[in-house]
Structure 1
Amino acid sequence: MDFRVYILAITSFVVGMVELIVGGIMDVISKDLQVTVSMTGQLITVFSVVFALSAPILLTITSKVERKKLYILTLFVFFIGNVISSVSPNYSTLLFARILSAASCSLIVVLSLTIATSIVKSNYKARAIGMIYMGISGSLVFGVPLGTMLGNMYGWRSPFILISILTLISMLIAYFFLSEIPPKRTVPLRQQLLSLKGSKLISAQLISVFMLTGHVTFYAYLTPFLKTQLGLGPTWISMVYFIFGIAAVMGGGIGGLVSDKWGSTRSILIITALFSVVMFLLPVVTFSFYLFLVVLFLWSMLSWTITPAQQNYLIQIAPESADIQQSFNNSALHLGIALGSALGGMVVENYSILYNAWVGSLCVLLAFLCAVFSLTRPMIAGVKGS
C-alpha cells in the first residue's frame, strides 16, 4: 500500500471530525451564544445538507483543475472555515463558518478517494478506498467524544482551534508528499443523476437516509440526554462517548463478517430490525446506568454494522454505476444526518428529549420497510444479488 494513502486517510479523519463535533458541546455553545439547544443542533443539520449537496456539484465545477493544487486549496478554505468558527462572536457567524467548512470538507473527502485510487496499483484500489472510509467513519465516531472532552476542559472553541492546526499540518504534508495528479474525466452531474433510476435502487439509497436519520435524531442530542435523564457530569459523559466509539469501530468489523456469512440482503433486514428495537429501549433502561451502557453499546455497534452490507448491496444491484452509487450513498448518509439533527431539534423544542430515541426508532423502522421494498423489486439489468 502506498504510504500516501495513509496521509489521505488521516486528512479525511481530520476534516470529518467537524460534522458531528458540535453534538458533544451543544449545551455549552447554546449557553455562550444565547440560543436554544435545538438551534445549536441545526449547526449539524446545515453542515450535513451542504455536505450532501456540494460534493457532486463542486467536483463537476473543478473537473479541470490539477488534483494536488485543488486538494491543498480546498484544505485552505476548510482551514479558514474553522478559524472563523473558533472566533465566532455570534450564531450567524458560526452558521456561515459551518457552511464554508461543509462545502470544502465534502470536496476534500471525494478528492481523497479519487487521489487514493489513482496512486495505487489496481490490486490495491479496494483497500485504498477502505482506508479512506476508515478515516471518514473514525472521524464521525470519535469527533464527538474529542469535542466533548476539549470543550468541557477549554471551552467550545478549542476543538475548532485544534482542527485548524491539524488542517495546516495536513496542508504541509500534502504539499511535500503528494505529486501532481492531472484531472480525470468527470461524469457530468446530469449523467450521474440519470444513473439513480428504478424503485429498487432509489429505495436502497433511502435505507441509508432513514437509518442515519433515526440514529442522529438521538445521537446529536445524546449529551443533554445523559445530563437530564441520567444526571451525568462531563467526565462520565466523555466515558460514555468513548464506549460508544469502541462499539462503533467493532460494529464495522462485525458488519463485514455478518455480510459475508449471511449475505447482504439478509444482513440489512436483520440489522435494521434489531437497530430499531435496541434504539427504542434506550430511554426505557435509564433506571440502571450499567444496563443503559449495555444497550448503548449494542446501539452504537449496530449503527455501523450495516455499512458493509449496504455498500455490497448497491454494487450488486447496480454494478454498471457502482462508483456513482457509492458517491450517492455518501450523500445519502449526510442527508440522513441533516434530517436527524433537524428532527431531533424539533422533538427537543416541542416535546421532550426523552422522546428522541423513540422517534429515531420509528425512522429506522422506515429504513427496514425501504429494505423490504427494495429487496422485493426485480433485479436491475438482470444482475443476481446474494
Structure 2
Amino acid sequence: MNIKVFILALSTIAVGLVELIIGGILPTVADDLNISLSSAGQLITIFALIYAISGPVLLVVTSKVERKKLYLAALFIFFIGNIITYFSPNFTFMMIARVLTAMSTALIVVLSLTIAAKVVAPAHRAKALGLIYMGISSSLVMGVPLGILVSDTFGWRVIFLGIAVLSIGSIILISIFLERIPGESAIPLSKQLKAVASLKLGGAHLATMFMLAGHYTLYAYFTPFLETELQMNSTWISIIYLLFGIAAVSGGAFGGALSDSIGTHKSILTVIILFAVVLFLLPVTTFSLVLFIPIMMIWAALSWSLAPPQQSYLIETDPATADINQSFNNSALQVGISIGSAFGGVVLNQTGSVSHIAWFGGVLVLVSLACAVFSLTRKGTVTTVSGH
C-alpha cells in the first residue's frame, strides 16, 4: 500500500481523537470549568453538528485551493484549536476551540479520503479508503479509554496538548511525503447539490445514515445493556469495550478488501444484511459469553465495514462530484450517530428496558438496506460535467 495513504490514515487518527475523547472525561471537565454535566455534554453535540455542516461547505468553498496547502492549513487551525482547549479558562473558550477543531477535522478527514482515492490505482481504491476509515474508527473507539487513562494520571488538559503535538507530527509528515495536488475545476454549487440530492446518490447517503443510526441505537446504551443483560462489572465492561474496539478497527480494512474483491454493489448489500442479522441475534446470545463475544465482535467489525465500499460506489457513480459526495457521506455518518443515540433514548424511555433495544436498531438497518437497494437499482451516473 502507498506510504502516502498510511500517512493520511495517521493524520485521521490524530484529528479523530478530538471528537469523542471528551466523552469519558466529561465529569472532570465540568468540575474544572464549573459547569453542569449537561452543559459539558454540549461540547460533544456542538462538535458533531459543526462537523456535519462544515465538511461539505468548506470543501465547496476551497475547491480551487491546492490540496496539500489546504491540508496543512487545516492541520494548523486544528493545532491552534487544541492549544486554545489546553489553556481554556472557561466554557466560552472551550466552545470556540470545539468549533475550530470540528471545522478543521471535517476538512482534514474528507481531504484524507479524497486524496487517498486519487493517489492509488482504482483497483486498490476501496482498500486505501478502508485504511483511512481504520484511522477514523480507531481514534473514535480508542479515544474514550485513552482519555480516561491520561486524564486520571496527568489531568484532562494534557490530552489536548498531546493531540496538538500529534498534529505537528502530521504537519511534518504531510510536508515531506505528499506532493502538490491541484484543486478541482469548480463545478457550480447548484450542480453539486443536485447530484447529492439525486435519487441514486441521495439513497446511498440515506443508507449510510440509517446504518449508523441503527448501530448507535444500541451502541450509545451498550454499557447499561451489558450491566442488565450480562450482569457485568466495570472490569468486564472494559474488556468488552476493548474487544469491540479491536474488532471495529479491523472493520474498515475488511470492508475495503471485500469491496476490491467482490465489487462495491455486492459488498454494500452483504455488509448491511449481515449487520441487520447480527443486531437481531445479539439480544438472544446474552445467556452465554462464549456465544455473545464472537457475535458482538462481528457486530463491531461490520459497523465500520460499509464506509469503504460506499465511498468507492460514490466515486464510481459520479466522478465529477466525488469529493462533495464523499464529504456528504461523512456528514450522513455523523447525523446517523446523533439520530441513533436519540432514538435509543426514546426506546429506552418508552419500554423502560435495554434488553430489546438492539431489535429497534435492527429495524433502522433494514431501512438502510431498502435505501441501498433503491440507490443501487437507479440508472447510471448523475452529472454530465466532464471529469476532474
TM-score > 0.5 by shorter chain: yes
**What's 2:386 paired with?**
none
> Alpha carbons of 1:227 and 1:41: their partners in 2 closer, same or farther (altered >3 Å)?
farther
Post-superposition CA distance 1:303-361 (Å, at most 9, x none): 12333443344455445644443333222222222333444455667875726544433
Answer with 177-186 or 49-58: which moved more: 177-186
Residues 1:112 and 2:112 aligned together? yes
Deviation at 1:209, TM superposition (A): 0.6
Indicate if the aligned counterparts of 1:42 and 1:341 stay in contact, CA closer than 8 A.
no
Alignment of 1:87-166 (within 5 A): 88=88, 93-115=93-115, 120=119, 126=125, 131-151=131-151, 153-166=153-166
Deviation at 1:215, TM superposition (A): 1.5
Corresponding residue pairs, total: 378
**What's 2:293 paired with?**
293
Q: Distance in 2 between matches of 1:380 and 1:124?
A: 20
Q: Aligned letter for 2:104?
A: S
Q: Distance in 1 between matches of 2:228 and 2:89?
A: 28
Residues 1:242 and 2:242 aligned together? yes
> Alpha carbons of 1:254 and 1:5: their partners in 2 closer, same or farther (altered >3 Å)?
closer
- Unpaired runs of 5+ in structure 2? 383-388
**What's 2:214 paired with?**
214
**What's 1:73 paired with?**
73
Q: Distance in 2 between matches of 1:201 and 1:103?
A: 24
Q: Distance in 1 between matches of 2:69 and 2:203?
A: 38
Q: Distance in 1 between matches of 2:327 and 2:175?
A: 26
**What's 1:371 paired with?**
372
Deviation at 1:364, TM superposition (A): 1.7
**What's 1:302 paired with?**
302
Q: Distance in 2 between matches of 1:151 and 1:348?
A: 31
Q: Aligned letter for 1:9?
A: A
> Alpha carbons of 1:52 and 1:249: their partners in 2 closer, same or farther (altered >3 Å)?
same
Deviation at 1:161, TM superposition (A): 3.2
> Alpha carbons of 1:344 and 1:75: their partners in 2 closer, same or farther (altered >3 Å)?
farther
**What's 1:335 paired with?**
335
Q: Aligned letter for 1:52?
A: A
Q: Aligned letter for 2:363?
A: L
> Alpha carbons of 1:134 and 1:19: their partners in 2 closer, same or farther (altered >3 Å)?
same
> Alpha carbons of 1:254 and 1:175: their partners in 2 closer, same or farther (altered >3 Å)?
closer
TM-score of the aligned structures, taking structure 2 as reference length: 0.78
Indicate if the aligned counterparts of 2:120 and 2:128 stay in contact, CA closer than 8 A.
no
Q: Distance in 2 between matches of 1:163 and 1:116?
A: 23
Does the residue aligned with 1:305 lie in a helix, a strand or coil? coil
Deviation at 1:52, TM superposition (A): 2.2
Alignment of 1:29-68 (within 5 A): 35-36=36-37, 43-68=43-68
Q: Distance in 1 between matches of 2:166 and 2:75?
A: 11
Q: Aligned letter for 2:362?
A: S
Indicate if the aligned counterparts of 1:44 and 1:341 stay in contact, CA closer than 8 A.
no
Residues 1:361 and 2:362 aligned together? yes
Indicate if the aligned counterparts of 1:276 and 1:364 stay in contact, CA closer than 8 A.
yes
Indicate if the aligned counterparts of 2:130 and 2:254 stay in contact, CA closer than 8 A.
no
**What's 1:205 paired with?**
205
**What's 2:273 paired with?**
273
Q: Aligned letter for 2:365?
A: V
Post-superposition CA distance 1:237-262 (Å, at most 9, x none): 44323211221233334434554666
> Alpha carbons of 1:63 and 1:207: their partners in 2 closer, same or farther (altered >3 Å)?
closer
Q: Aligned letter for 1:165?
A: V
Answer with 345-354 or 189-198: which moved more: 345-354
Q: Distance in 2 between matches of 1:381 and 1:124?
A: 19
Deviation at 1:268, TM superposition (A): 3.3
Answer with 307-316 or 9-18: which moved more: 307-316
Q: Aligned letter for 2:103?
A: A
- Unpaired runs of 5+ in structure 1? none
Post-superposition CA distance 1:276-305 (Å, at most 9, x none): 342345455555555442332121022123
**What's 1:6 paired with?**
6
Q: Distance in 2 between matches of 1:29 and 1:284?
A: 38
TM-score of the aligned structures, taking structure 1 as reference length: 0.78
Does the residue aligned with 1:340 lie in a helix, a strand or coil? helix
> Alpha carbons of 1:203 and 1:115: their partners in 2 closer, same or farther (altered >3 Å)?
closer
Q: Distance in 1 between matches of 2:340 and 2:16?
A: 18
Indicate if the aligned counterparts of 1:255 and 1:308 stay in contact, CA closer than 8 A.
yes
